[in-house]
Amino acid sequence: MSSDLWESHFLTACRGQRPSRVPVWLMRQAGRYMREYREVRAGRSFLELCQDVHLASEVTVHAQGRIDADAAIIFADILLILQGLGMPLEYVKGDGPVLARPLRRDRDVAALGDPQAAADACGYVAEAVALTRRDLPSDVPLIGFCGAPFTLASYAIEGGGSRQFARTRQLMYEDTATWHRLSETLVAASIPYARAQIDAGAQAFQIFDSWAGALPRADYRELVWPHLHALAQEIPEGIPLIIFGTNTGHLLGDFRDAGADVVGIDAVTDMASAWKGLGGPQRVSVQGNLDPGLLLAPRQRLLAAADRVLAQAGDGSGYIFNLGHGVFKETDVERVIALIDHVHQQQLPLPESSA
């Protein structure tokens, strides 16, 4: 890794150190809120955009430069690996991802494809990573990512998104052996998929356990955490690992224990108390946690909310500013630029009067 990358604001914070300015990047920073993204996407499906290595790289690089983010995240989707395993996947307007043949029993899991072959089938993501690394500024790190076993399994079992995850829980509780077999298959596919992105040029990696917050901690620890841990332990030494989920205030210690170098904090969790409970920057870095809905608010309200988040970040050691979830498509890109510029100008710790 070059010294420019090693000394970048983002990677410095990932190591628990204090960068010279607060690093910022945003989940879903390349997306529909950007006119240029919509122009590239016009006439193409979401999957076609993900699978076109040149366009996926283009929207990744453009988004980072447009908003002056301190890191880029490769344009892809957590569900691509399910398609690689043989599950028909499409994105339906108004409904989101739809998996036409959901997994409901042991024979469905047994029919999934070979995990290594699934990772190979998603090799276009690593190709996009390589192109993106070539075209990004030399001091801007690139983040690769994948879905966590529970979140991938829930999509595969439910056939799409869900609010209650009833079928997922039913399989997990009634047929624990099949649940573990499915989780092990997802981990076995995700490990080479993640490594391919890292080998291609990703300097950090994020695991999205988006729906983990739906579970009580005891069930998560017993039935889910061992598989997250198995995946996290395969991220190479020296590659900072971020683990993030929504409504996961009760699981943050489990994310840390799984192997996270950086724990993502959602918008409904008090970051200061959560970080203290995690052991502070001496133990783990944190990322978060502005409510993305505030990007729809007037500028004064938005920046005041950003300052309240920054006031919880101490002197900035081990801290990365981000949202508590992805950017809404209704967001004005100029509001995003104003937010990032404001955060970059702040010196931590903030004076008490600013908070």
| SS3 letters across the chain | CCHHHHCCHHHHHHCCCCCCCCCECCCCCCCCCCHHHHHHHCCCCHHHHHHCHHHHHHHHHHHHHHHCCCCEECCCCCCHHHHHCCCCEEEECCCEEEECCCCCCHHHHHCCCCHHHHHHHCHHHHHHHHHHHHHCCCCCCEEEEEECHHHHHHHHHHCECCCCCHHHHHHHHHCHHHHHHHHHHHHHHHHHHHHHHHHHCCCEEEEECCCHHHCCHHHHHHHHHHHHHHHHCCCCCCCCEEEECCCCCCCHHHHHHHCCCEEECCCCCCHHHHHHHHCCCCCCEEEEEECHHHHHCCHHHHHHHHHHHHCCCCCCCCEEEEECCCCCCCCCHHHHHHHHHHHHHCCCCCCHHHC
* Residue 155 is among the residues annotated as catalytic for this protein: yes
Q: Which entry of 33, 37, 77, 193 is annotated as an active-site residue?
A: 77
Would the CA dihedral through 331, 336, 337, 338 be positive or negative? positive
User: pLDDT at position 350, please?
Assistant: 86
Q: Where do we find the tokens 């995850």?
A: 165
* Residue 41 is among the residues annotated as catalytic for this protein: yes
* Residue 221 is among the residues annotated as catalytic for this protein: no
Banded model confidence at residue 137, pLDDT cuts 50, 70, 90: very high
Q: Of 322, 328, 329, nearest to 69 (Cα)?
A: 322
Q: Which entry of 18, 21, 41, 217 is annotated as an active-site residue?
A: 41
pTM: 0.97
pLDDT averaged over every residue in the chain? 97
Give helix 166-174 / helix 176-200 axis angle, nearest 10°: 110
* Residue 181 is among the residues annotated as catalytic for this protein: no
Banded model confidence at residue 166, pLDDT cuts 50, 70, 90: very high
Q: Which entry of 28, 133, 195, 335 is annotated as an active-site residue?
A: 28
* pLDDT tens-digit series, residues 278-315: 999 999 999 999 999 999 999 999 999 999 999 999 99
pLDDT above 70 covers a percentage of the chain that reads: 99
Average of pLDDT values for 5-24?
98
User: pLDDT at position 12, please?
Assistant: 98
* Residue 335 is among the residues annotated as catalytic for this protein: no
State the CATH class of domain 3-354.
Answer: alpha beta
Question: What Cα–Cα distance (Å) separates residue 176 from each residue in 165, 219, 224, 253?
Answer: 16, 12, 11, 24
Banded model confidence at residue 354, pLDDT cuts 50, 70, 90: low
Strand 89-92 with 96-99, pairing: antiparallel
Is there a contact between 205 and 73 (Cβ–Cβ < 8 Å)? no
Q: Which entry of 21, 32, 221, 308 is annotated as an active-site residue?
A: 32
CA–CA distance, 240 with 1 (Å, rounded to integer): 13
Q: Which entry of 155, 193, 220, 319 is annotated as an active-site residue?
A: 155
Average of pLDDT values for 58-73?
99
User: pLDDT at position 163, please?
Assistant: 84
Banded model confidence at residue 352, pLDDT cuts 50, 70, 90: low
* pLDDT tens-digit series, residues 193-243: 999 999 999 999 999 999 999 999 999 999 999 999 999 999 999 999 999
Q: Is the pLDDT of residue 353 over 50?
A: no
pLDDT above 90 covers a percentage of the chain that reads: 95
